[in-house]
Chain A
Amino acid sequence: MDTGRQDYRRYLDPKVLAKITGLELRARLIVEGFFSGMHHSPRRGVSVEFADHRAYTQGDDLRHIDWKVYGKTDKYYIKEYEQEANLNVMLVVDGSESMDYRSPRAGMTKYEYATAVAAAIAYLTIQQQDSVGLALFDEHLTQSVRPANNAQHWKTLIHELTSKTGPAKTSMGRVLNELGELLSHRTLIILISDLFDDPDAILKGFKYLRYRHHELIVWNIWDHAELTLPLKGPTMFDGLESTGKLLTDPRLLRARYLEEVDRFQARLRTGCGHMHIDFTIFDTTTPLDAALSGYLATRSARLRRRSSRVLGGG
């Protein structure tokens, strides 16, 4: 049993996962690996979960009286449950050229990492009876699939994730506006991107989505080399998305570069914080369960806020 759990968990390592071809299989292995690491499985069916006790009042359904407590205390207590509501999840994945970057020591490109996470989230979401949709973007929204909840839908999403078009630039502000107009219902938007764009435009887009009452989770994907600039010696940096070229010794620029990266991340983190947006930075060497557990925690918190209390069956 332990051996099997261990086998699945190793697929959470991006380097191991990179050796698996096929996004569908990758997603399943991520989810298997994620759950084999937990002490219980949500697949036992806890869509209605125990929440608390309260004193019996007239009119309460007798079926919800906790007779074990009555046996101990000689008082009637009613068991309270939380009822999970259906959730609309929209996975928004950045397909721009900058997401194709992979440093020599990384297992996969940022886009491969993003699609693996997105596919696993989609799989998990459908398993939990929620609806999940997908939007791919670069300068515009290039593909979008409305949220739905069935096994065939997941395969559609996988197909869309693996059919990215050619390299293109990013225009986050425009994309977020288009996304806001696309989604008519309150939706939990999971944005998976390196966010290499003007932070002000990005935050303005986030603000717009929040204004439209959408929940937002932002996963900022980085290659490890982008966070450390480990290169040495004279190097010609050839910018993706036609951002220019630079010949320099990266050792001389590292400190300033990392300052710039820090400032960018801090700006987004602060902006997201003000808008109650869950902002998380991943690098492509991070095990993929971190994204899943982050998602589940956020989903749980969202549901708790949105769910209505149920007394007995009422």
Chain B
Amino acid sequence: MATLSSFILHPSSFILHPSSLLAVPFVHPSIAGLALLAGLIPILVHLINRRRYVRVPWAAMSFLLAANRRSARRIRLEQSLLLLIRIAVVVLLGLAVARPFLPALPLWPSHSSRVHRVLLLDNSLSMNARRADGATRFESAKRCAQDLLDTFPLTDPVSIVTLSSPAVAVIAHTAYDRRLVKERLAALQPTQRGTDTVGALTTTVEILQDSQVARGNYAVYLISDVPRSVWHSETTENPTPAVLAMRHLADMLADSAADLTVVHAAPGPSDNVAVTRFVAQSPLIGINLPVSIAAEVTNSGSSNAHNLTLQIRRDGRIIRRQQLPTLAPGESTAATITTEFSTPGTHLMEAKLAPHPEDVLEHDNTRYLSIEVRETMPVLLVDGRPGTTQFDGQAGFLATALAPVPLGTDSTLIVPKVITEPELTGEALSDYDVVALCNVPRLPNQLWKQLESFVARGGGLMLFGGDLVSVDNYNQFAYADGNGLLPGRIARPVVVPLEDATFFGFRIDDAVHSIVADFADHPESGLFLSRVERYVPIEPDPHRAEVVLSYTNNHPALLASTFGKGRVLLCTTTANMDWNNLAAKGDYVSLMLSAMAFLSPRHGDHRNVTVGQMIREPLTPLESSLPLRVTTDEGTLAEPSLVPEGEALAMTYGPVEHAQAVTVSIGSEVRVFTVNVDPAESDLIPIGEDEFATALDRNVHLIGDTNMVPKEPVAARSTELALSALYAVIGLLLLEMWMAMRFGSQRSVAPASKR
């Protein structure tokens, strides 16, 4: 028989301070304050009534005065009593709304008051894992929740929160109808979504803050597989977000002497191997160009994984079947394939692990990848001094590096176009993926703004130094006090002293950037052998600039930054051999291609989403008018929705609830989208009891299994007084009516005799 282990978090501040007994606390203290103020209302009404009298002439005044002399004291007493009762009625009514309660003594808990119970049920992907008894973790957790529900007194309000991302309060407001709670609980199903533990705990805090029961009468039950990846913190000082949220909830409950029970729904070992990563290694994917695609397989189970076979499919056809090495628990292996695509458009790649009998979670055995194969990547090179031959200007060198074979050849992806600075005005920047400014002297502010707009929409911009560059123009309009495209403020070019020139070159910064990652382990490469004679010093913007490559004097040579959706690269030396001899090295081509890959807009990234997310595809005006259709892996056809995106439209579909490839037909064109599970969900290793206690930094008591989950529900710590206050109000109202009648307002009096 499988068991559930439970952790019960006991609040530290369980013993009441004597001073708290002197004052009755309230669920809504602010209303209590208002209630006391409302006690002034009867006094104000009394005073206003005294001012709003009717003036009548009266002849039989002597009798009235005599009656008043005889009754004045009695009337004053009676009126004072009535006023006091009315004040008490108003104040008590307000206090009843404020819900007062009496904190009970620890050894004498109240069994008559209600306890607000919140059930947090994990229904994320990992809860689909099968246990040894054949049931899924979720089925076990739901049964545990139902058992707990049966132990709760029927008068106790219950809320239910699910943990799958985003966390949802299935019953946010307290439900007293136990049948409804059971129906909602029974209707809950496991999902393939990730876990939103922080959201669920935050929601719980919000629910309890709005709770209508007396403070302190709370009980929270978290039923989850308690994954180590969520709860493990290296040190108590650096907790994970989930631990922080749990501490916050625990502290809130501890303040009010309530219970927090954590039920582990999947104790014991479990085996799981998953494809945790499947990506193209370069964003520059063209027709018939080799592209590397890497798959990562991870053993997140508790024992070694043997005989693992990985299948790679391209557009549905198996192109590789690879035997993987044995993986120890927690170990990963990567399988990389190189393939080519012969047609442009989106293509589906699929990495799938062959079924394994020990694997308890199947949903993470396959990972999909949508790849966009482009026919060309247009790049605009603007040269401040173009020259007459191909290698006179900076742009000539760069164009040659980017397109080493003649244009029109099948294997050419990048299509550079060289123009002069005056020609830039007439170019439509949106036709290009990347724009490079090579030794461009100055640009009017309007052109800088156009470039900003181009980059903000996702384009790439590369800037090179040169003797023509106007430092003032760049700083004024391109840096713009940190608000522009430049990742820092530049200064006048520096000439490397002659005595240093022999040794002055490039060095890779400590944090290896993806652009230069291929050079990192090759100190003999041409990049590090090249020499630099002159460069533009720059003071990097610490908030945006990322130094990719430095000079040997530690001054930045290549800086990257983001601007809107796009990226910017600044090379502080020239793109040709004016200031350095890098352009003469073979690695110059690799470096520039890497730079283009970095700057290239991520055209297809949005087509790879996670379970629970929406599919979204921007449409051109022509595409918006074509018939749209979505086909899921189950063959389901659906009409997507159209939503505005900027000045155009986008189609949306979803959220998609399980991992699959989805095709979207736009007219006759088909685009592939992939929906993958959150790889964090594949980690089924639970956190240990001691580790959990250490992470939470709170007292944790292990209960053991399902049978040790308390059968007796947590007793209320406080006694609610609202009902008593209402009874008192009714009593006082009856007393007031009786006294009012008794004191004369309702008394029937026979008129004076007429004889």
Where the two chains meet, the residues of A that have a C-beta atom closer than 8 Å to any C-beta of B are 97-101, 110, 194, 196, 222-223, 226-229, 231, 233-241, 243-244, 246-249, 251-262, 264-265, 269, 280-283, 286
Contact among A222, A229, A252 with B745 in the assembled complex (CB-CB below 8 Å) = A252
Interface members, chain B 71-119 (any A CB < 8 Å)? 71, 75, 78-79
Structural contact, B59 and A227, CB atoms closer than 8 A: no
Structural contact, A240 and B752, CB atoms closer than 8 A: no
Structural contact, A252 and B71, CB atoms closer than 8 A: yes
- From known contacts A243-B65, A253-B71, infer whether A258 and B57 are also in contact, taking CB-CB under 8 Å: no
Query: Distance in Å from the Cβ of B66 to the closest Cβ of chain A?
Result: 5
Question: CA–CA, A11 to B505, complex, Å?
Answer: 131
- Which residues of chain B come closer than 8 Å to A259, judged between CB atoms? 67
Query: Distance in Å from the Cβ of A105 to the closest Cβ of chain B?
Result: 13
Which residue on chain A has the smallest CB distance to residue B746? A251
Question: CA–CA, A255 to B67, complex, Å?
Answer: 8
Contact among B59, B75, B750, B752 with A252 in the assembled complex (CB-CB below 8 Å) = B75
Structural contact, B59 and A251, CB atoms closer than 8 A: no
What would 10 more interface pairs be, CB under 8 Å, given A237-B56, A248-B75, A253-B71? A233-B54, A240-B57, A240-B61, A246-B65, A248-B68, A258-B751, A261-B752, A265-B752, A265-B753, A265-B755
- Which residues of chain B come closer than 8 Å to A248, judged between CB atoms? 64, 68, 75
Structural contact, B63 and A257, CB atoms closer than 8 A: yes
Contact among A100, A223, A246, A269 with B64 in the assembled complex (CB-CB below 8 Å) = A246
Question: CA–CA, A215 to B46, complex, Å?
Answer: 54
Question: CA–CA, A235 to B56, complex, Å?
Answer: 7
- Which residues of chain B come closer than 8 Å to A97, judged between CB atoms? 59
Structural contact, B64 and A253, CB atoms closer than 8 A: yes
Question: CA–CA, A257 to B56, complex, Å?
Answer: 16
Which residue on chain A has the smallest CB distance to residue B66? A260
6 A–B pairs (Cβ distance < 8 Å), ordered by A? A196-B59, A233-B53, A236-B55, A240-B61, A253-B64, A265-B755
Structural contact, A226 and B71, CB atoms closer than 8 A: no
- From known contacts A234-B53, A253-B64, infer whether A240 and B753 are also in contact, taking CB-CB under 8 Å: no
Question: CA–CA, A261 to B61, complex, Å?
Answer: 11
Question: CA–CA, A182 to B524, complex, Å?
Answer: 152
- From known contacts A252-B743, A256-B70, A260-B67, infer whether A244 and B61 are also in contact, taking CB-CB under 8 Å: yes
10 nearest interchain CB pairs? A239-B61, A256-B67, A101-B59, A234-B53, A243-B61, A261-B752, A98-B59, A260-B63, A228-B751, A257-B67
Structural contact, A251 and B745, CB atoms closer than 8 A: yes
Which residue on chain A has the smallest CB distance to residue B46? A234
Question: CA–CA, A259 to B54, complex, Å?
Answer: 24
Question: CA–CA, A235 to B751, complex, Å?
Answer: 19
Question: CA–CA, A263 to B57, complex, Å?
Answer: 23
Contact among B50, B59, B68, B747 with A226 in the assembled complex (CB-CB below 8 Å) = B59
- From known contacts A101-B57, A227-B754, A251-B745, infer whether A237 and B71 are also in contact, taking CB-CB under 8 Å: no
Question: CA–CA, A152 to B623, complex, Å?
Answer: 119
- From known contacts A251-B745, A265-B753, infer whether A236 and B54 are also in contact, taking CB-CB under 8 Å: yes
**Is B636 close to A, CB under 8 A?**
no
- From known contacts A252-B743, A252-B744, A256-B71, infer whether A237 and B64 are also in contact, taking CB-CB under 8 Å: yes
Question: CA–CA, A101 to B67, complex, Å?
Answer: 20
Structural contact, A228 and B752, CB atoms closer than 8 A: yes
Question: CA–CA, A233 to B53, complex, Å?
Answer: 7
**Is B62 close to A, CB under 8 A?**
yes
- Which residues of chain B come closer than 8 Å to A257, judged between CB atoms? 63-64, 67
**Is B511 close to A, CB under 8 A?**
no
- Which residues of chain A come closer than 8 Å to B751, judged between CB atoms? 227-228, 258
Which residue on chain A has the smallest CB distance to residue B58? A237
Structural contact, B53 and A262, CB atoms closer than 8 A: no
Chain B 586-628 near chain A by CB (<8 Å), digits 1 or 0: 0000000000000000000000000000000000000000000
Structural contact, B754 and A261, CB atoms closer than 8 A: no
Question: CA–CA, A229 to B50, complex, Å?
Answer: 19
Structural contact, B745 and A237, CB atoms closer than 8 A: no
**Is B49 close to A, CB under 8 A?**
yes
- Which residues of chain B come closer than 8 Å to A286, judged between CB atoms? 754
Query: Distance in Å from the Cβ of B595 to the closest Cβ of chain A?
Result: 91
**Is B494 close to A, CB under 8 A?**
no
Query: Distance in Å from the Cβ of B113 to the closest Cβ of chain A?
Result: 44
Query: Distance in Å from the Cβ of A249 to the closest Cβ of chain B?
Result: 8
Interface members, chain B 727-749 (any A CB < 8 Å)? 743-745, 747, 749
Structural contact, B749 and A236, CB atoms closer than 8 A: no
| Residue in A244, A257, A258, A286 whose Cβ sees the most chain B Cβ within 10 Å | A257
- Which residues of chain A come closer than 8 Å to B53, judged between CB atoms? 233-236, 247
**Is B52 close to A, CB under 8 A?**
yes
Question: CA–CA, A270 to B50, complex, Å?
Answer: 40
- Which residues of chain A come closer than 8 Å to B57, judged between CB atoms? 101, 238-240
